[in-house]
Amino acid sequence: MLGLGAATRIFVATGATDMRLTFDGLYALVVGQLQQDPTSGHLFLFANKRRDRMKILFFDGSSLWVCSRRMEQGRLHWPSCEEGRLQLSREEFALLIGGIDLSGTRKRKWYRRPPGEESDVSTKAA
């Protein structure tokens, strides 16, 4: 399994990609279409037109990897975007490869208390 750290970003080529492409072809797509550095350690996702195949390109620090997935049944619910590229969170990536349609989901805003700020609950209770 891929180790996704907090700094790892996930980029998706939203259009159809020729699955005959290997290292060099996908590398060129990352540079040209996604406008990213393939050796950055981020994940780059590609799918074919029928959305039953997916490839992931990533660099582990010493070598370039291409991982592929062929679905025997069903299709991926591939996200779309006019720009041809999209960035996903780790949670959205898990949903995508799990077969969930991301267009039917929405992000909720989370509140995080700034570090060092004390809770007002304890002062109001007294």
Residue 39 located in a structural domain: yes
Q: Which domain holds residue 37?
A: 10-106
Q: How far apart are CA 55 and CA 65, in angstroms?
A: 10
Q: How far apart are CA 39 and CA 89, in angstroms?
A: 19
Q: What is the pLDDT of residues 7-35, one digit of tens each?
A: 899 999 999 999 999 999 999 999 999 99
Residue 14: enclosing H or E segment and its boundaries?
strand 10-16
- If one counts the domains in the chain, the total is 1
Tokens 């080529």 belong to residue: 13
Residue 50 located in a structural domain: yes
Q: What is the pLDDT of residues 49-67, one digit of tens each?
A: 999 999 999 999 899 999 9
Q: How far apart are CA 118 and CA 96, in angstroms?
A: 38
Residue 120 located in a structural domain: no
What pTM, to 2 d.p., does this model score? 0.79
Q: Residues for the chain: how many in total?
A: 126
pLDDT at 57: 96
